[in-house]
Structure 1
Amino acid sequence: MMQQESLVEYGARRVIITITAIFCALLEIVDTTIVNVALNDMRGNLGATMSEIGWVVTAYAIGNVIIIPMTSWLAQQFGRRNYFAVSIVMFTISSFLCGNASTLWELILFRFIQGVGGGALLVTSQTIITESYPLEKRGMAQAIYGMGVIIGPTLGPPLGGYIVDNYAWPYIFYINIPIGVIATLLTLQFVRSPKFAEKKAANEIDWWGIGFLAMAVGALQYVLERGQEDDWFNDSTVTVLTVMSVLGFFFFVWRELMYKNPIVELRVLKNGNLRIGTVLSFIMGFGLYGSTFIIPLYTQGIMGWTATQSGMLMIPAALMTAFMMPIIGKMLEKGVPQQYLIAVGMISFFVYSFWGYKIITPDTGEDAFFWMLIVRGVGMGMLFIPITALALSSLKGVQIGQGAAFTGMARQLGGSFGIALITTFVSRRNDLHRTDLVSKLDVNNPEVMNRVHQVQNSFIHKGMDPQTALQSAYQSLEYTITRQQTVLSYMDVFLYLGVMFLIFTPLVLLVKRNKAQGKLDASAMH
């Protein structure tokens, strides 16, 4: 216990460490989403196709997911402060190189390196914050960290939109540089490393474990990001990588359980709370990234909004979450059971999704989104901290970092699964709704023909000849059908996302109270 208590900080030191850690978490998360609104400009600038430019997002995610499970081990190997500082430097330098990239493949390589640096920032900053606060203030510590994690994905698009509209895309990378420099200096000055066991010699390092892990999660991330675009298992690359991913996971788990110095300590998952927390983090990532992904698609694709307008829409929800965080931190400190808060959060998320399902049409007004997104902000606030607090509640010392790595990886993978499933689902539902809508358009139906003639006449009044006007009338009808089928698909996404959260609510309430409150089951003590 002494080793853990020794890292607790007080006064100004704790404030500085907390701010440094949050800035680093924000850097990493804003960079996950800030790029999305700049892809079009990058594509034009670097002469890339739409599917090639997608790699700018994919490469970063792959770097992220590979490194996150290893962070706890790397921090032990090199000392947490040094590892954290090196990660910030790596992230900052690769940000500069991304902005300077002159070809697409250069940009993709530097984004991968940036993802490797960034993955460490997320989990290590969570561990640093958790260990800087005494046990009774852990809920508040998670609340402070959670503000960064929830606001980050929302800040990305409006910030990216503003920079792209007013400057040029390289600046979305350059803004990381001053923050990175300050964070590095503060880390070296203030962050302390716990006393870990002896470092492993090079011949004791779990190289096979590292290899299997990189193969498993790297291949999985590729399959999830590219599957829909490449038509899933009809594409040989996707099929081969799926098999590689499955084999990679199998051999990775086998290796970690057998080897005496594993790169990822899977045994920490014997802790029941951490297992539940990891599953819930996955679901939360699914909802958080899935819903952040679908709304800009809808507002920009169907409603014709600019990137900045779409980004601004999400700000009130993020502010609501930020407002909720300290309140929930206080509730946890007062002993409100985490599972009750999580259940309320899940129900709020269901309400938000069902609301979205009810209000979206091909021309919903901007005002209609406000309260619906506020409910989302409340739900996310009530999910994030209680889930993290539940997952880490009965872990001690070195296990905190290992546990944080599992929940962090689950959240990232949940987001990737969410986006992959949603894109596939939307494209399948599009075909279904199209068939359904077209079947109702019978040329013998007088109402349908009336509508076509009305539109044709309005085009004739604008000076078109009758034949061209008829063509244009049919084109306009086609455009209406496309919009309608897409909106129906998005409605389905909202409905099913909500139902998923509703289904998991009773499971949360089954978590036993005494375990959640931090009693350590004997199996976790090793």
Structure 2
Amino acid sequence: MEQQQSLVEYGSRRVIITITAVFCALLEIIDTTIVNVALNDMRGSLGATLSEVSWVITAYSIANVIIVPMTSWLSQQFGRRNYFAASIIIFTASSFLCGNASGIGELVIFRFIQGLGGGALLVTSQTIITESYPPEKRAMAQAIYVLGVIIGPTLGPPLGGYIVDHYAWPYIFYINIPVGIIAALLTLQYVRSPKYGEKRPASQVDWLGIFLLTAAVGSLQYILEKGQEDDWFNSKLIIVLTVITCFGFYGFIWRQLVYKYPIVELRVLRNSNLRMGVILSFVQGFGLFGSTFIIPLYTQSILGWDATQSGLLMIPSTLTVAFMMPIIGQLIQRGVPQKILISLGMAIFFIYSLMTYKVMTPHTAGEDFFWPLMVRGVGLGLLSVPISTLALSTLKGPEIGQGAAFSGMMRQLGGSFGVALISTYLTRDIVHHRGNLVDHLNIYDPAVQSRVQAMAAGMQAKGMPPNIALGTAYKMIDGSVSVQATVLSYMDIFLYIGFMFLVFVPIVLIFIKNSKTKMSMADAAH
């Protein structure tokens, strides 16, 4: 108990630790999305193809997902403060190297290293913040942490767009450097580590487990990132990686259950609340990253917005989440059951999906998205903190670090699954809707002919030759059909995401057990 209490901080020291950890988590999350708007500039200056430059995103994501499950073990091996500081230094140094990369190969390698450093920042930040607060204020600590996780994906695109428009793409990496240096110095000065048992000698380290985890998770992340681009199972590489993923996970699970010193303690998943928390983290990641991905895509491809405008559209929703965080933290501290808040959040996210479904047209204005996105903010506010605290609520001691790593990894994988499935579905559903629309569009119909002739006459009035005007009118009709098919596909996606959240409302109410004990994270060996 002395060790638990010794990690609680007060006054300015706690404020400094909280700000440091939140900024580190924020940096890591922002860097997952900030490069999206800079890919064209990178491609031009580095002489890369679109397929090659997309590896700048993929390499970072693969490194993230590989390192997150190992953070608890690495913290025990090196001490949490040392590991956290080293991760910040790796992240910061590789940010500098990314900005100075002279070729696409160099940039991809440095982004992978940056992902290895950044992956540790997320989950370790969560534990550091939580342990710095006394037990009665830990729901509020979770709210502060989750705020950074929610803000990050929203800030990335507009911040990246502004930097690319006004400076150059290397500066999206350089902005990490001053924050990283300050965070590393503050970590070494203020963050303290729990007392761990003796470090395992190299002979006891589960090197086979590390290899199997890396192969399985890395292959799965590649499949999710590149599957649509490579036409899924028509690609031999995707088939090979699918086999590696299946056998890798099977071998990894077997190894962790039989080895005396596992790198990931899978037995912690016997806890029912953690199992539900991990599943809900996956669903939350699917909805959060999926909707963050789909709305900018819709506004840019259909409405013709630029990246900065699309990113700014999401800010009201993010501010709503920020407003909700302290309220939700207070509700949890006052004993409102987490399953009530989560099920309410799921229902509200369904309402948001339905509202977005109804406002989508080829001519939707920015203000039409305002209220749906405000509702999204309320839903995410009700989901984020309760899911985060639920997963860890009935764990004790070192189990909590493992639980935080599992839920962090599943949120990331949920986002990857969401983006991959949405991309695949969009591509195929647009073809389906276009076929249906063309089947019902009779070019000999008098109304259609009247429309074509009116368009052609308008172009002829501006000096276009009659034959070219008629051909252009038919092309415009064809383009209109394509836009309508695309909008219908986006509408389908929001409807399906909404129903996915609605289905989980009764599951949450039935299967989640209320914690009878106060959540304590001070023993988290993470």
TM-score > 0.5, shorter chain as reference: yes
Paired position in structure 2 for 1:55 = 55
Matched, 1:401 2:404: no
Out of 509-518 and 422-431, give the one that drifted further.
Answer: 509-518
- The SS at the match of 2:444 is coil
- The SS at the match of 2:511 is coil
Matched, 1:388 2:388: yes
Q: CA deviation at 1:252?
A: 0.3
Partners of 1:426 and 1:326 in 2: CA distance: 37
Q: CA deviation at 1:475?
A: 1.3
Counterparts of 1:194-205 in structure 2, within 5 Å, are 194-205=194-205
Partners of 1:164 and 1:321 in 2: CA distance: 27
* Equivalent AA in structure 2 for residue 61 of structure 1: S
Paired position in structure 2 for 1:455 = 455
Paired position in structure 2 for 1:338 = 338
CA contact (8 A) 1:337 1:513 kept: no
* Equivalent AA in structure 2 for residue 374 of structure 1: M
CA contact (8 A) 1:337 1:516 kept: no
Partners of 2:244 and 2:512 in 1: CA distance: 38
Paired position in structure 1 for 2:227 = 227
Out of 99-108 and 413-422, give the one that drifted further.
Answer: 99-108
CA contact (8 A) 1:273 1:516 kept: no
Paired position in structure 2 for 1:43 = 43
Paired position in structure 1 for 2:506 = 506
CA contact (8 A) 1:390 1:516 kept: no
Partners of 1:370 and 1:316 in 2: CA distance: 7
Partners of 1:67 and 1:456 in 2: CA distance: 59
Partners of 1:473 and 1:517 in 2: CA distance: 69
- The SS at the match of 1:133 is coil
Q: CA deviation at 1:474?
A: 1.4
Q: CA deviation at 1:329?
A: 0.4
CA contact (8 A) 1:87 1:120 kept: yes
- The SS at the match of 1:34 is helix
- The SS at the match of 2:229 is coil
Q: CA deviation at 1:512?
A: 4.7
Paired position in structure 1 for 2:490 = 490
Paired position in structure 1 for 2:283 = 283
The change in CA–CA distance for 1:223 and 1:181 in structure 2 (over 3 A counts) is same
* Equivalent AA in structure 2 for residue 390 of structure 1: L
Paired position in structure 2 for 1:176 = 176
CA contact (8 A) 1:393 1:516 kept: no
Paired position in structure 2 for 1:319 = 319
Paired position in structure 2 for 1:360 = 360
Q: CA deviation at 1:20?
A: 0.6
Paired position in structure 1 for 2:523 = none
Partners of 1:108 and 1:519 in 2: CA distance: 41
CA contact (8 A) 2:85 2:184 kept: yes
CA contact (8 A) 2:357 2:491 kept: yes
Partners of 1:43 and 1:4 in 2: CA distance: 50
Partners of 1:188 and 1:57 in 2: CA distance: 30
Paired position in structure 2 for 1:151 = 151
Out of 497-506 and 132-141, give the one that drifted further.
Answer: 132-141
Q: CA deviation at 1:518?
A: 5.2
Q: CA deviation at 1:44?
A: 1.7
Paired position in structure 2 for 1:105 = 105
Deviation string, structure 1 residues 135-165 (Cα, Å, up to 9, x no partner): 2211111001011000111111111111111
Partners of 2:381 and 2:310 in 1: CA distance: 21
Paired position in structure 2 for 1:469 = 469
Partners of 1:55 and 1:349 in 2: CA distance: 32
CA contact (8 A) 1:318 1:377 kept: yes
Matched, 1:91 2:111: no
Gaps of 5+ in 2: 521-526
CA contact (8 A) 1:338 1:516 kept: no
- The SS at the match of 1:362 is coil
Q: CA deviation at 1:511?
A: 3.3
* Equivalent AA in structure 1 for residue 57 of structure 2: V
Paired position in structure 2 for 1:425 = 425
Deviation string, structure 1 residues 210-244 (Cα, Å, up to 9, x no partner): 00000000000000000011110001111110110
- The SS at the match of 2:412 is helix
Paired position in structure 2 for 1:523 = none
The change in CA–CA distance for 1:280 and 1:123 in structure 2 (over 3 A counts) is same
Partners of 1:74 and 1:157 in 2: CA distance: 32
Paired position in structure 2 for 1:116 = 116
- The SS at the match of 1:262 is coil
Deviation string, structure 1 residues 272-295 (Cα, Å, up to 9, x no partner): 111110000000000000000000
TM-score, normalized by length of structure 2?
0.97
Paired position in structure 1 for 2:245 = 245
The change in CA–CA distance for 1:494 and 1:512 in structure 2 (over 3 A counts) is closer
Instruction: Spell out structure 1 runs of 4+ moving beyond 4 A.
Output: 516-520
Partners of 1:9 and 1:268 in 2: CA distance: 28
Partners of 1:454 and 1:441 in 2: CA distance: 17
Partners of 1:505 and 1:5 in 2: CA distance: 37
Deviation string, structure 1 residues 12-71 (Cα, Å, up to 9, x no partner): 111111111001000100101111111121122222222222111110000000000000
RMSD: 1.2
Q: CA deviation at 1:482?
A: 1.3
CA contact (8 A) 2:147 2:321 kept: yes
Partners of 1:474 and 1:47 in 2: CA distance: 37
* Equivalent AA in structure 2 for residue 279 of structure 1: I
* Equivalent AA in structure 1 for residue 17 of structure 2: I
Q: How many residues align?
A: 520
- The SS at the match of 1:35 is helix
Q: CA deviation at 1:8?
A: 1.4
CA contact (8 A) 1:4 1:396 kept: no
Partners of 2:152 and 2:396 in 1: CA distance: 28
Out of 433-442 and 406-415, give the one that drifted further.
Answer: 433-442
Partners of 2:2 and 2:452 in 1: CA distance: 79
Partners of 1:347 and 1:101 in 2: CA distance: 46
Deviation string, structure 1 residues 111-145 (Cα, Å, up to 9, x no partner): 11111000000010011111111222111110010
Partners of 1:33 and 1:519 in 2: CA distance: 33
Paired position in structure 1 for 2:265 = 265
CA contact (8 A) 1:212 1:248 kept: yes
Partners of 1:494 and 1:225 in 2: CA distance: 21
Partners of 1:182 and 1:359 in 2: CA distance: 45
CA contact (8 A) 2:338 2:514 kept: no
* Equivalent AA in structure 2 for residue 183 of structure 1: A
- The SS at the match of 2:498 is helix
Deviation string, structure 1 residues 347-383 (Cα, Å, up to 9, x no partner): 1111111111000100101110111101111111110
Out of 414-423 and 131-140, give the one that drifted further.
Answer: 131-140
TM-score, normalized by length of structure 1?
0.97
* Equivalent AA in structure 2 for residue 266 of structure 1: L
Out of 178-187 and 267-276, give the one that drifted further.
Answer: 267-276
CA contact (8 A) 2:282 2:411 kept: yes
* Equivalent AA in structure 1 for residue 64 of structure 2: N
CA contact (8 A) 2:273 2:512 kept: no
Paired position in structure 2 for 1:524 = none
Deviation string, structure 1 residues 400-439 (Cα, Å, up to 9, x no partner): 2111100000000000000000000111110100101111
The change in CA–CA distance for 1:444 and 1:212 in structure 2 (over 3 A counts) is same
CA contact (8 A) 1:66 1:218 kept: yes
Q: CA deviation at 1:514?
A: 3.8
* Equivalent AA in structure 1 for residue 399 of structure 2: Q
